[in-house]
């Protein structure tokens, strides 16, 4: 059973790699960075699926929320440095804080949904007949 720390770190690492690749693609091909949102949601849910399968839905929601927090801070900073996010997209600290909170909530919800699926389709323990 993978630990929650390993699952969370893996999800956070994956979301940062995704952000960098999506930012580079956005800049290179000229599509809006926000178009990569479905990929982020999939990563939140996948991390939640693994956490939910191994630990439970509440833990899956927490993992999804943490992955969302990493994306909304470090990931967005990386995207800004790469040039995929324009400076005028979030100008005040209140707007930035609102985006961070929203992404944590969305990450938690996607993680919980993934965790529910993970629990739903987790292998059932079998009893040995004696």
Position 121 scores a pLDDT of 85
HEC profile of the chain: CCCHHHHHHHHHHHHHHHHHHHHHHHHHHCCCHHHHHHHHHHHHHHHHHHHHHHCCHHHHHHHHHHHHHHHHHHHHHHHHHHCCCCHHHCCCHHHHHHHHHHHHHHHHHHHHHHHHHHHHCCCCCCCCCC
What confidence category does residue 125 fall into, taking pLDDT thresholds of 50, 70 and 90? low
What confidence category does residue 127 fall into, taking pLDDT thresholds of 50, 70 and 90? low
Domain range summary for the chain, segments of one domain joined by +: 4-119
Q: What is the pLDDT of residues 60-101, one digit of tens each?
A: 999 999 999 999 999 999 998 998 887 666 678 888 899 999
Q: What is the pLDDT of residues 34-53, one digit of tens each?
A: 899 999 999 999 999 999 99
pTM of the model: 0.88
């Amino acid at each position: 059973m993978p630990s929650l720390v390993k699952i969370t770190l893996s999800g956070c690492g994956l979301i940062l790699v995704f952000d960098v690749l999506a930012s580079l693609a956005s800049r290179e091909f000229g599509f809006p960075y926000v178009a990569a949102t479905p990929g982020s949601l999939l990563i939140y849910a996948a991390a939640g699926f693994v956490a939910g399968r191994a630990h439970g839905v509440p833990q899956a929601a927490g993992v999804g929320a943490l992955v969302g927090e990493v994306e909304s801070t470090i990931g967005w900073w990386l995207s800004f440095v790469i040039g995929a996010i324009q400076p005028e997209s979030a100008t005040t600290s209140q707007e930035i804080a609102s985006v961070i909170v929203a992404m944590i909530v969305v990450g938690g919800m996607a993680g919980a949904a993934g965790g529910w699926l993970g629990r739903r389709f987790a292998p059932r323990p079998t009893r040995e007949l004696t």
